[in-house]
Chain A
Amino acid sequence: MGIPRHGPWLKWLAGGVVAGMALLGVLAYAMTTTDSRPFCSTCHIMEEAAVTQKMGTHARLACNECHAPHNLLVKLPFKAQEGLRDFWGNITGKDVPHPVSLHTRDVVNANCKACHAQTNVNVASMDAKPYCVDCHRNVAHMRMRPISTRTVAYE
């Protein structure tokens, strides 16, 4: 007795694979979109960060190239947690935390190293200062520039 070629289980399997791929596609698209500057800056409170990022050398990178871990297993819960915290902060009228949390600083710093490892391979550049932006200060959203070049009221 052979396996029936047109049994209902095959339809289910094929349908399931297609549905799974579609779902994965949607999720992947949503993950990418929610990493990006247009999404992050939909909350006005993030406009200063978005504007200074767009004016800077990292303009073509997504926010979460720096602001979330690259490892997907760590990134998923990280984004969920940060997203909820920001959402809550926003609807309760809180300002962007100044300075940013130690946790975020560590994540960002790991991502500096992830992209710029080769530049630093022959120097002990992580020994003197805890963070790369301790020297590369304006990478941290051009914060040494006059206020009017970064932001306006009602953001």
Chain B
Amino acid sequence: MNKTVVSPLFAGAALLAVLALGGCEDVSTELKAPTYKTGIAQTETRISAFKAAFPQQHASYMKNDEDKVMTEYKGSVPYHKNDDVNPLPKGFKHAQPYLKNLWLGYPFMYEYNETRGHTHAVEDFVNIDRLNRFGADGKGKMPATCWNCKTPKMMTWVAQYGDAFWSKDVNEFRGKESIDARDETIGCANCHDPATMELRLYSEPLKDWLKRSGQDWNKLSRNEKRTLVCAQCHVEYYFTHQDNGPKLRPVFPWDNGKNPEDIYQYYKGHGAKGPDGKPGPFVDWVHAASKVGMIKMQHPDYETFQDGPHGAAGVSCADCHMQYVREDGKKISSHWMTSPMKDPEMRACRQCHADKTAEYLRSRVLYTQEKAYKQLIKAEELSVKAHEAVRLANAYDGPRPENYEALMTEAREMVRKGQLFWDYVSAENSMGFHNPVKTMNTLAVSLECSNRAVALATEATQFTIAPVMAKDIKEVVPPILEMSRKLQQDADFLQKNPWTKILPVLPKADQVWDGQNRLKSDAARP
């Protein structure tokens, strides 16, 4: 018999066998995710150690290397997020031109880029100008806490050093002898128990939060875990002030709630303790132009999302960012965590929105993002104006009104609050989509606060700065396009912008670190 006869016969026989053997067993509605006995050591941190047992997930994860595709507002090209002048890969049409001004005096003014896949996390970390690479002592001038969301080696280091780890210098762990940039970047062990591959937390600050809020990881649903593994890192955080606990240990500021107003209220405390023994307001840095004690927001993706239309309905991060894909007939979770907008078919969305076309879904995402981006730019412009108003009012030496100090205290508070609010939106990575109404509301409050700051500072100067405040802010304070640790060593360069003039000139120094390589010999170490 030839093949054309055998195949249908075989198929028929198989069908009958299936009918006879399996055809009477009903499904169970208790869904059980597969678990394994891998034999991989509990302390394993290398991605390559998981490749043999999980080739499909590994291959899917390696797709995170892609860093060429942009969407309308996001994507994977690490362009400078303030640069709307240069073409890709340096700048992008939907950049935020005032970021360097707004972060004046803080490391974010040196470099802040669009994100790329997890596979690049350590690589991008050791190349960012925010960490000092010019110190003759080789120090980064930032705490080792900065490693917290970059590598599963955190488990090794925390076990080794305990709470002493956080306040060590970040560059102590930078060299190739400390970490393999490719193999020990964010990987399997950050979300999986290597022995069983069950979802697990590696994150100290998230475990702290679960403890503080009376939750037990082992009692949480699989659905909640599919969000919380991301919430280990895609959250706003701060470093503990030494007056209040282990120095520079990371904390998620969620005790009042996860909305911008809750977080703003939280940061009225948790700073350095005053003479009365009570913690004062927390301050990330003092803005170099306005001298206001500022709060920096960092990627509050989880906080934004959890009470949005999807989050409140119980949809998890993984539902959209790790959709099930069928490869070689096997259904696995995609481990390519990237913009769902890259897929022309929008398949992740259509697991639920099966009745919608990809074009329609895309247009609904853009409907939100376009509005959020436009208002975000306006909120940032007004925030710059608020800093400038306070800066001018600080320097005002004319006849002051009686309530000058009260007006200025309130104006500074409004600058701080206005910026916290727009930064909550700006630092979040969905350009509004994760929570459209909260995004627009947050920007509205930001505009209100910055506007109030301008009005108060204007009043404090007997309205003498009103003519300046009436001008287009881009004429008064032009956006700072270029700024780096190297450029700050150049006194002439700093003269080119009214706000960079304010910055101190850094001492001339050569670069000491290039990625993981120390350029100067060890002999140069003090």
- Residues of A bordering B, CB below 8 Å: 30, 33-34, 37-39, 41-42, 44-45, 47, 50-51, 54-55, 87, 91, 93-95, 98-100, 134, 137, 140, 143-155
Q: Please determine whether B15 and A87 come into contact, CB atoms closer than 8 angstroms.
A: yes
Residues in B with CB closer than 8 Å to A42 are 18-19, 22-23, 25
Distance between Cα atoms of A108 and B315 in the complex (Å): 27
Selected contact of B27 from candidates A34, A50, A87, A91, CB within 8 Å: A50
Q: B142-150, B326-334, B396-404, B415-423: which one contacts chain A?
A: B326-334
Report the minimum CB–CB distance from A137 to chain B (whole Å): 8
Selected contact of B223 from candidates A38, A99, A134, A149, CB within 8 Å: A149
Nearest residue in B to A100 (C-beta to C-beta)? B354
Can you list 14 contacts pairing A with B, beta carbon distance less than 8 Å? Answer: A39-B24, A42-B23, A44-B331, A87-B11, A95-B331, A98-B347, A99-B350, A145-B314, A146-B313, A146-B319, A148-B223, A152-B31, A152-B33, A153-B324
Report the minimum CB–CB distance from B168 to chain A (whole Å): 39
Residues in A with CB closer than 8 Å to B22 are 38, 42
Q: Please determine whether A98 and B350 come into contact, CB atoms closer than 8 angstroms.
A: yes
Contact with A along B338-356 (1 / 0, CB 8 A): 0000000001001110110
Nearest residue in B to A134 (C-beta to C-beta)? B355
Q: Please determine whether A37 and B27 come into contact, CB atoms closer than 8 angstroms.
A: yes
Q: Please determine whether A153 and B333 come into contact, CB atoms closer than 8 angstroms.
A: yes
Selected contact of A143 from candidates B23, B29, B347, B351, CB within 8 Å: B351
Q: Please determine whether A38 and B25 come into contact, CB atoms closer than 8 angstroms.
A: yes
Q: Please determine whether A153 and B27 come into contact, CB atoms closer than 8 angstroms.
A: no
Q: Please determine whether B319 and A39 come into contact, CB atoms closer than 8 angstroms.
A: no
B216 on interface, CB distance cutoff 8 Å: no
B34 on interface, CB distance cutoff 8 Å: yes
B26 on interface, CB distance cutoff 8 Å: yes
11 further A-B pairs in the complex, CB-CB below 8 A; given A38-B27, A98-B347, A153-B33: A33-B19, A38-B26, A39-B23, A146-B316, A147-B315, A147-B323, A147-B324, A148-B223, A149-B31, A152-B32, A152-B34
Residues in A with CB closer than 8 Å to B316 are 146-148
Chain B interface residue count, CB cutoff 8 Å, equals 41
Q: Please determine whether B19 and A39 come into contact, CB atoms closer than 8 angstroms.
A: yes
B95 on interface, CB distance cutoff 8 Å: no
B120 on interface, CB distance cutoff 8 Å: no
Count: A-B pairs, CB below 8 Å: 109
Nearest residue in A to B15 (C-beta to C-beta)? A87
Contact with A along B7-30 (1 / 0, CB 8 A): 000010001001100111111110
Distance between Cα atoms of A34 and B333 in the complex (Å): 31
Q: Please determine whether B34 and A143 come into contact, CB atoms closer than 8 angstroms.
A: no
Distance between Cα atoms of A62 and B358 in the complex (Å): 32
Residues in A with CB closer than 8 Å to B121 are none
Distance between Cα atoms of A100 and B29 in the complex (Å): 23
- Residues of B bordering A, CB below 8 Å: 11, 15, 18-19, 22-29, 31-34, 221-223, 226, 313-316, 318-319, 323-324, 326, 328-333, 347, 350-352, 354-355
Residues in A with CB closer than 8 Å to B313 are 144, 146
Residues in A with CB closer than 8 Å to B319 are 146-148
Selected contact of B19 from candidates A34, A37, A155, CB within 8 Å: A34
Residues in A with CB closer than 8 Å to B11 are 87, 91
Q: Please determine whether B352 and A93 come into contact, CB atoms closer than 8 angstroms.
A: no
Distance between Cα atoms of A3 and B27 in the complex (Å): 58
| Known A39-B19, A98-B354, A146-B315; contact A55-B330, beta-carbon cutoff 8 A | no
Distance between Cα atoms of A87 and B18 in the complex (Å): 12
Distance between Cα atoms of A100 and B352 in the complex (Å): 13
Report the minimum CB–CB distance from A152 to chain B (whole Å): 5
Q: Please determine whether A154 and B332 come into contact, CB atoms closer than 8 angstroms.
A: yes
| Known A41-B26, A54-B26; contact A148-B351, beta-carbon cutoff 8 A | no
Q: Please determine whether B223 and A146 come into contact, CB atoms closer than 8 angstroms.
A: yes
Distance between Cα atoms of A94 and B326 in the complex (Å): 8
Q: Please determine whether A154 and B330 come into contact, CB atoms closer than 8 angstroms.
A: yes
Ranked 4 nearest A-B pairs via Cβ: A93-B329, A42-B22, A148-B223, A50-B27
Distance between Cα atoms of A51 and B347 in the complex (Å): 21
Residues in A with CB closer than 8 Å to B329 are 93
Selected contact of B34 from candidates A54, A137, A153, CB within 8 Å: A153
Residues in A with CB closer than 8 Å to B355 are 99, 134, 137
Q: Please determine whether B326 and A93 come into contact, CB atoms closer than 8 angstroms.
A: yes
Distance between Cα atoms of A13 and B281 in the complex (Å): 99
Residues in B with CB closer than 8 Å to A34 are 19, 23
Residues in A with CB closer than 8 Å to B330 are 154
Report the minimum CB–CB distance from A2 to chain B (whole Å): 47
Distance between Cα atoms of A50 and B29 in the complex (Å): 9
Report the minimum CB–CB distance from B164 to chain A (whole Å): 39
Distance between Cα atoms of A37 and B24 in the complex (Å): 9
Residues in B with CB closer than 8 Å to A50 are 26-27
| Known A39-B19, A87-B15, A154-B34; contact A146-B314, beta-carbon cutoff 8 A | yes
Residues in A with CB closer than 8 Å to B29 are 51, 54-55
Residues in B with CB closer than 8 Å to A39 are 19, 23-24
Distance between Cα atoms of A37 and B33 in the complex (Å): 21
Residues in B with CB closer than 8 Å to A87 are 11, 15
Q: Please determine whether B326 and A95 come into contact, CB atoms closer than 8 angstroms.
A: yes
Report the minimum CB–CB distance from B474 to chain A (whole Å): 45
Distance between Cα atoms of A55 and B15 in the complex (Å): 27
Distance between Cα atoms of A51 and B32 in the complex (Å): 12
Report the minimum CB–CB distance from A138 to chain B (whole Å): 10
